[in-house]
Amino acid sequence: MDFLVSQLLNSLVFGMLLFMMSAGLSLIFGLMNVVNLAHGSFFMIGSFTAFTLAKWSGNFWIALAAGWVPAAAAAVLMERIFIRPLYSRSHLDQVLLTFGFIFVFGDICKYLWGPDIRNIPPPEALEGAIIVAGAVLPKYRLFLVAFGVAVAVLLWLFLERSRIGAMVRAGVDDAATAAGIGINVPFLFGCIFALGAALAAVGGIVAGPVLGTYLGMDIEILIPAFIVTVVGGMGSLKGALVAGLLVGAIDTFGKAYFPDYALFLIYLLMVVVLLKRPQGLFGVVKG
Amino acid sequence: MRKHNSSLVNGLTRRSFIKAAGLAGAAAVFGGGAPVVLAQSRAPLKIGALNSYSKVFAALGNANVNGMALYFNSIGNTIAGRKIEIIREDDEINPQVGLQKLKKLVESDKCDLVTGIQASNVAMAAVQYLRQSRAFMLCSGAGLVNLAFTGLPYFFRSSVNTYPVHSSMGEWVYDNVSKEVLISASDFAGGRGSLKEFKDGFEGRGGKIIKEIYPPLGNNDFSPYFADIRNINPPSTFHFYAGTDAVRFVNQYAEYGLKDSIPITGSGFMLDSDTLPAQGRSAMGIRNVLHYADTLDNAANQEFVEGYRGAHNEYPSVYAEYGYVAAAVIHAALEAIDGNTSDRDKLREAMLAVELDAPRGPFKFNQKTQGPVHNVYIREVAEVDNRITNKVIHTINNVTDPEKLPA
Amino acid sequence: MNMKTSGRIPGFLALCVLLVLAPLGGDYLLGIVSEILIFAIFAMSLNLIVGYTGLLSFGHAAFFGVATYVVIGLGVHLGISGWLGAIAGVLASTALAAFIGMFCIRVKGIPFLMLTMAFSQLLFATALKWRSVTGGTDGLIGFMPPDFFGWNMGSDAIARYIVIVIGFLSVLIFLWYLVRSPLGSIFIGIRDNEQRMRAIGYPVQRFKLIAFTIAGCLAGIGGSLYALFNSYVSSDILHWHLSGDAMIMVILGGSGTVFGPAFGAALFLLLKNFISSYNEYWAFWVGVIFIFCVMFLREGVWGLVMKHFGRLFSNKDNSQSRNRSHSESKRQSHSHSHSHSESEKRVVAGAATGEQL
């Protein structure tokens, strides 16, 4: 029984991690219609920056508070200089552009931090585990779940309840009209891109103590992030959350009970969703 | 045909892009340019360093060449009047790429000998080529047991054979830890092979393997497996993981409190200088096995560690030690024959006769398999001088390749 | 159309001369050229769907890799000769492309991209886990390449090279005629304006599937040749990373011509090999060049070459040739659909929207 409870918590935690990784990607596509293949790169940059900050300051929270800044800054530059000229071109070109940045960012990280594996140590307060009903629950992972929920709530508040969020939604629905009533759409898009990158970076920071910080993590999380966003629906926050938990569950229970098929099942899920319901579980069909 | 006006508004035109990229490119490429070969009275000594310098094994390849370069620098980069030139090639952990680069080193660059190869699949492919080409190779990397039985006269291995290392651990665990054990490793040839080596030693003593678990290579989250392990509650465990998997596994094992309740042992490759900084306190107390430890108390090791720290500002890993020893072997062998690499048989004889005090302890070649004869150390991760590293708790002397290829 | 043909023949002859001279450079150079030719096939096959039919796929590695696996697998497990294995490999890729294509063409744009990637990763996951058949990440060793007219392809680099050259030229010539054929112009029509093609009465879905299948078949040829060249396969070959590399080759060379991606393959592999000898950050430079091409050089490097030097070869009507090369790279420039609709004879023009996928 406690085996089941353990696995349940494991899947919850992993699901939250996936949600954090995918929220940014989903946001950018849903609101800007841009598929950012370099999403994983922001994840990685955030993780490495936090590692350095944590090392200098000895404090995890400082690293979390400030580690996402370089990634967001890089995103702003990237959007302003490279993506903006391509808004009028096809999505093909935008996707390809972001693909090229994977290589650029990857080598920049390699240049700045070298090829060694790094690790962001979790804060001392969150080291160790608590035991509940015979199941071992590491404190840091519980924090991850809570943090993920907090991020989800904050994002929801921002999008649904704030004026800025309303402007964003307006800009997405109909950019021409939004511009017509005075909303600075390009500026807004820039903000959204930066927000998406910041989310990815924060994901990389909080995931650091669990996954490690190393070159290649950008490519590694790209596929799971895509699966979650596709299944959940591009642009849907609720979708990213639900799909993250779903994929987390399949992955965890799959590894425990069907080790040979877990990976296959996840990709199969992606295929089925794309065919039966291309907009995902909670996505909106785009005109 | 008019091009995109919008880019002019942003200030980034095609021309400015090219200019910027070109300048940066020229600076970068030629700033870190190829090594310069000085004119010498004798032809330079070309040593090929075929390793993986990219992807997951990047740190290993770099460490390997760093170790080699460190030794050669300490002898003035010259042996018997010949200037040493190291030519690096990246095998990208791909056997065919490795083969092509090997051919390039041997046929195109005309290397006197080739060192390196950390990846076992590349090493096996290389052996096929060496059979035909009769090139001289001093393997300073891959530890799989098959390489001890190639039968090639010009193939030497100065790094390690993991078989006796892991099987010694199997015996030691049986004698000192528990008679039953649960084992796990990443699901790939290196992982499965290492466990089999451990099993040979452990079961050979009469031990019982409770369960074998093989998480996929590159696994993120080991918690499902930990739940399983806790359920089974074995008296002890043994593991083999490499790279990022090693970091994650060890960290998560501690995170889940398993370290305190179930004794854990492992392969030294899982707990060496390349992973310990990232593993930190999670690794403390884990007993493991390797043929080297950076805390070894001998003159050669002190010189090696201090030199490496001076040059690279970090402690050397076992992969750097491979390179250092390979360089020392080359030095000793070539000096004995006055740097004359044209006669392979003489070089072979000289190499077989090499005996030296390496950082890992006394070193010489097994005359039959041309593999290393050295000590194997049972180590324990501990804090030494404010640094988390391995201290040696037991030494096994004169360990070498088995008589024949194990089944 | 005639003047373009006359322009092509000197180019083709020049290519043949280069190919014939390559063996003189030694085995190592020959190995590099062989690898370039194999990936040129892969990239050209991808371009059939990307450049000529307008479908952006990130799962093309599936068809390349499956063929390689079939050849090596049959050879290692059942001792089947490489030649028979190669035929089986190409058939397997073709069938697989038809099967996967049936599902993928049901969606368009970004979902199509994701679906192709998902199917390819599905195969990757299978190869990774099915160790008994595929060897997982360790791959399959022990493949013995067959003989080619008495020379063993395993030991003789020139024998391998000749087989690969034959494969490459066959694919090149086939594609060249295909895109100029009625079938080819249907593909181009679908790329330029799918709705209009449908309105005219073409069964667009069927033709998309045909294009996808042919592309898969050609990728299978590349994959089979890779097996004969490499004598090794591992699960890496099915990873989307390879599909990404092929896309880079297509963009670098230019998606507007048949030969462009082949040129792109050469450019990519040479850059990689050349830069990595001096500098370990070759990925950065490839990324920079790639971004540059996407932003400013959408016709690709080869497209640029063709634009400036292609006119040298056409002795007839210069303006007509300029329009022709415009139409080939038309889809990349959004603001020019009005300037050369008069040159669209066979190809259905019309307002090309941003949604080219």
CATH number at residue C237: 1.10.3470
State whether B393 and B360 are in the same domain.
no
Domain coverage including residue B246:
163-290+378-399
Question: What residue type is assigned to position A203 of the chain?
Answer: G
Question: What residue type is assigned to position C285 of the chain?
Answer: W
Q: Is residue C346 part of a domain?
A: yes
- How would residue B107 be classed by pLDDT, with cut points 50, 70 and 90? confident
Point out which residues pair with C151 in neighbouring strands.
Answer: C148
Q: Is residue C273 part of a domain?
A: yes
Q: How far apart, in whole angstroms, are the C-alpha atoms of residue A244 and residue A135?
A: 23
Question: Is the confidence at residue B370, as pLDDT, over 90?
Answer: yes
CB contact (8 A) between residue B12 and residue A14 = no
State whether B132 and B82 are in the same domain.
yes
Domain coverage including residue A34:
2-217
Q: Which residue of B has its CA nearest to A83?
A: B7
In terms of phi and psi (left: phi > 0; alpha: psi -120 to 50; beta: otherwise), the region of C139 is: left
State whether B266 and B345 are in the same domain.
no
Output the pLDDT for position B18.
Answer: 55
Domain coverage including residue C183:
3-352
CB contact (8 A) between residue A117 and residue B243 = yes
Q: Which residues contact C19 (CB under 8 A, 6 or more apart)?
A: C33, C165, C169
Read out DSSP for A37-67? TTHHHHHHHHHHHHHHHHHHHS-HHHHHHHT
Nearest to B90 among C27, C276, C285 (CB): C276
- The mean per-residue pLDDT over the stretch B245-262 comes to 90
State whether B205 and B310 are in the same domain.
no
C288 in A contact zone (CB under 8 Å)? yes
CB contact (8 A) between residue A7 and residue B227 = yes
Q: Which residues contact B5 (CB under 8 A, 6 or more apart)?
A: none
Q: Is residue A193 part of a domain?
A: yes
C141 in B contact zone (CB under 8 Å)? yes
Instruction: Please list the ranges in chain C whose pLDDT falls under 50.
Output: 1-4, 315-357
Question: Is the confidence at residue B2, as pLDDT, over 70?
Answer: no
State whether B252 and B172 are in the same domain.
yes
Q: Is residue B9 part of a domain?
A: no
- pLDDT one-digit tens code per residue, C207-225: 999 999 999 999 999 999 9
Q: How far apart, in whole angstroms, are the C-alpha atoms of residue A110 and residue C282?
A: 11
The tokens describing C201, both together, are: 């009465």
- How would residue B12 be classed by pLDDT, with cut points 50, 70 and 90? very low
Mutate to test the interface with B, among C29, C160, C276 (most CBs of B within 10 A): C276
C281 in B contact zone (CB under 8 Å)? yes
CB contact (8 A) between residue C284 and residue A234 = no
Q: Is residue B19 part of a domain?
A: no
Instruction: Give chain B positions within 8 Å (CB) of C136.
Output: 187-188
CB contact (8 A) between residue B107 and residue C26 = yes
Higher pLDDT, C354 or B184: B184
Q: Is residue C191 part of a domain?
A: yes
Q: How many domains does chain C have?
A: 1
Q: Is residue C336 part of a domain?
A: yes
Mean pLDDT, chain B, whole residue set: 86
Q: Is residue B405 part of a domain?
A: no
Nearest to A85 among B7, B244, B257 (CB): B7
Q: Is residue B24 part of a domain?
A: no
Output the pLDDT for position C347.
Answer: 33
What DSSP designation does B159 have?
S
Q: Which residue has the tokens 């967001």?
A: A72
Q: Is residue C190 part of a domain?
A: yes
Q: Is residue A228 part of a domain?
A: no
Instruction: Please list the ranges in chain A whose pLDDT falls under 70.
Output: 1-2, 171-175, 284-287
For position B50, which CATH number holds?
Answer: 3.40.50.2300
- The mean per-residue pLDDT over the stretch B83-112 comes to 86
- How would residue B38 be classed by pLDDT, with cut points 50, 70 and 90? very low
In degrees, rounded to 5, the angle at the alpha carbon of residue B159 between the alpha carbons of residues B158 and B163 is: 115
Neighbours of C169 (CB within 10 A): 15
Complex confidence, ipTM: 0.87
B404 in C contact zone (CB under 8 Å)? no
Question: Is the confidence at residue B231, as pLDDT, over 80?
Answer: yes
In terms of phi and psi (left: phi > 0; alpha: psi -120 to 50; beta: otherwise), the region of C239 is: beta
State whether B212 and B153 are in the same domain.
no
CB contact (8 A) between residue A119 and residue B247 = yes
Pairing of strands B155-157, B137-139: parallel
pTM of the model: 0.83
Half-sphere exposure of B148 (CA within 13 A, CB side): 25
Instruction: Give chain C positions within 8 Å (CB) of B34.
Output: 277-278
- How would residue B21 be classed by pLDDT, with cut points 50, 70 and 90? low
> A217 φ, ψ to 5°?
-70, -20
**DSSP H or E segment with residue B246:** helix B243-255
Tell me the nearest-neighbour CA distance from C128 into chain A, angstroms. 9
Q: How far apart, in whole angstroms, are the C-alpha atoms of residue C243 and residue C120?
A: 9
Q: Which residue of C has its CA nearest to A100?
A: C287
Q: Which residue of A has its CA nearest to B279?
A: A119
**DSSP H or E segment with residue C275:** helix C260-278
- pLDDT one-digit tens code per residue, B271-322: 988 889 889 889 999 999 999 999 999 999 999 999 999 999 889 999 999 9
State whether B104 and B141 are in the same domain.
yes
Q: Is residue A267 part of a domain?
A: no
Q: How many domains does chain B have?
A: 2
B99 in A contact zone (CB under 8 Å)? no
Q: Is residue B153 part of a domain?
A: yes
Question: Is the confidence at residue B39, as pLDDT, over 50?
Answer: no
Q: How far apart, in whole angstroms, are the C-alpha atoms of residue B366 and residue B386?
A: 38
Q: Which string of b and e fits C87-106 if b means at least 16 CB within 10 Å? A: ebbbebbbebbbebbeebbe
Nearest to B248 among A6, A88, A212 (CB): A212
State whether B73 and B100 are in the same domain.
yes
Q: Which residue of A has its CA nearest to C288?
A: A104
Mutate to test the interface with A, among B4, B29, B223 (most CBs of A within 10 A): B223
Q: Is residue C357 part of a domain?
A: no
Q: How far apart, in whole angstroms, are the C-alpha atoms of residue B136 and residue B87?
A: 15
Q: Are B252 and A136 in contact (CB under 8 A)?
A: no
Instruction: Give chain C positions within 8 Å (CB) of A270.
Output: 114, 118, 121
CB contact (8 A) between residue B251 and residue A255 = no
Q: Is residue A273 part of a domain?
A: no
